Structure 1
Amino acid sequence: MLMLSDQRKDHIVSLLIAGHVQQQWMEYDIDSDLLTPADAWQMSIALPTSKDGQALSFKTVLKEGEKIKVQIGGETVLSGRLDACQHEVVKGSHRFTINGRDDAAALLDCSAPVFVQRQSTMQEIVAKIVRPLGITKVVIHAEKTTKFEKVNVDPGDSAWDTLVHAAEAAGLWPWFEPDGTLVIGGPDYSTPPVDTLALRWNGRSNTLIRLSENRSISGRFSEVTVLGQTHGTETETGKNSLRGVAKDSQVNWYRPKIVTDHEVDNSAVAQSRARKLLMDSRLTGYTLEAELYGHRTQAGTLWKPGQRIRVISEPHGIDGVFFLMGRRFVLNRNDGPKTLLTLKEDAVWTLDALPHKRKHRKGKNGALGQILDIAKPSWQQ
Structure 2
Amino acid sequence: MPDQLELLAGGRSHAGWESIRVTRSMEHGAGSFSLAVSERWPGLDAPRQVRPGERCEVRVAGETVITGYVDEVEASIDSSSHTVSVAGRDAVADLIDCSAVRKAGQWRGLRIEQIAAELAAPFGVRVRADVDTGKALTSFAIQEGETVFDAITRAARIRALLVVSDSTGGLLITRAASARVGTTLELGVNLLKCSVKSDWKDRYRDYLLKGQAPGSDYFNGAAAAQIAARAADGGMTRYRPLLITADAPDIAATLQQRAQWEANSRAARSLTVTAVVQGWRHAEGLWAPNMLATVVANELHLAAELMITAAEFGLSGTEGSTTTLTLTRADAYTLLPIKPMDDAGNFWTVPKAQAAK
Normalising TM by the smaller chain, what interval? 0.7 to 0.9
* Contact 1:194/1:307 (<8 A) preserved: no
Corresponding residue for residue 241 of structure 1: 226
2:141 to 142, 145, 152: 152
Distance in 2 of aligned mates of 1:262 and 1:109: 21
Cα distance in 2 for partners of 1:144, 1:53 equals 51
Equivalent AA in structure 2 for residue 162 of structure 1: A
Separation of aligned partners in 1, 2:274 and 2:253 = 35
SS of 2:258's equivalent?
A: helix
2:79 is the alignment partner of 1:94: no
Structure 2 gaps, min length 5: 337-357
Per-residue CA distance 1:94-145 (angstroms, 9 max, x = gap): 1100101112101011122323221112232112111111113x22122342
- Equivalent residue for 1:108? 96
Check conservation: 1:246, 1:271, Cα contact below 8 A: yes
Deviations 1:142-199 (A, max 9, x none): 234231111112453210111001111111011011222321111223x333320111
User: How far is 1:235 from its partner?
Assistant: 10
Q: Which residue of 2 aligns with 1:125?
A: 115
RMSD: 2.3
Residue by residue over 1:274-308, the C-alpha shift from the partner in whole angstroms, topping out at 9 and shown as x without a partner, is 122212312431011001110011x1410000111
Residue pairs, 1:279-318, within 5 angstroms:
279-297=264-282, 299-318=283-302
Deviation per CA, 1:218-272: give whole Å up to 9, x if none: 1111121111124548997561111111111222232211112262312122212
Structure 1: 5+ residue stretches without partners = 1-8, 353-381
2:264 and 2:331 in contact (8 A); partners too: no
Aligned residue type for 2:155: A
2-structure distance, mates of 1:343, 1:120: 34
Assess if the C-alpha contact under 8 Å between 2:269 and 2:329 holds in 1.
no
- In structure 2, relative to structure 1, the CA distance for the partners of 1:159 and 1:346 (3 Å cut) is same
Q: Give the corresponding residue for 1:195.
A: 183
Q: 1:273 to 1:89 in 2, by over 3 A?
A: same
Q: 1:169 to 1:146 in 2, by over 3 A?
A: farther
Distance (whole Å) between structure 2 residues aligned to residue 40 and residue 313 of structure 1: 29
Between Structure 1 and Structure 2, how many residues are aligned?
332
Task: Provide TM-score, normalisation by structure 1.
Answer: 0.81
One-letter identity of the residue aligned with 2:257: S
3-state SS, counterpart of residue 269 of structure 2: helix
Contact 2:77 2:83 in 1 (8 A): yes
Which amino acid letter does the alignment assign opposite residue 165 of structure 1?
R
Q: Which structure's relative contact order is higher, taking Cα pairs within 8 Å and 6+ residues apart? A: 1
Match for residue 333 of structure 1 among 309, 313, 317:
317
Q: Extract structure 1 runs of 4+ deviating beyond 3 A.
A: 51-57, 230-238
1:47–1:334 Cα change, 3 Å = farther
Task: Give distance in 2, aligned partners of 1:300 and 1:10.
Answer: 14
Call closer, same or farther: CA 1:196–1:81 in 2, change over 3 Å.
Answer: same
Q: TM-score if structure 2 supplies the norm length?
A: 0.86
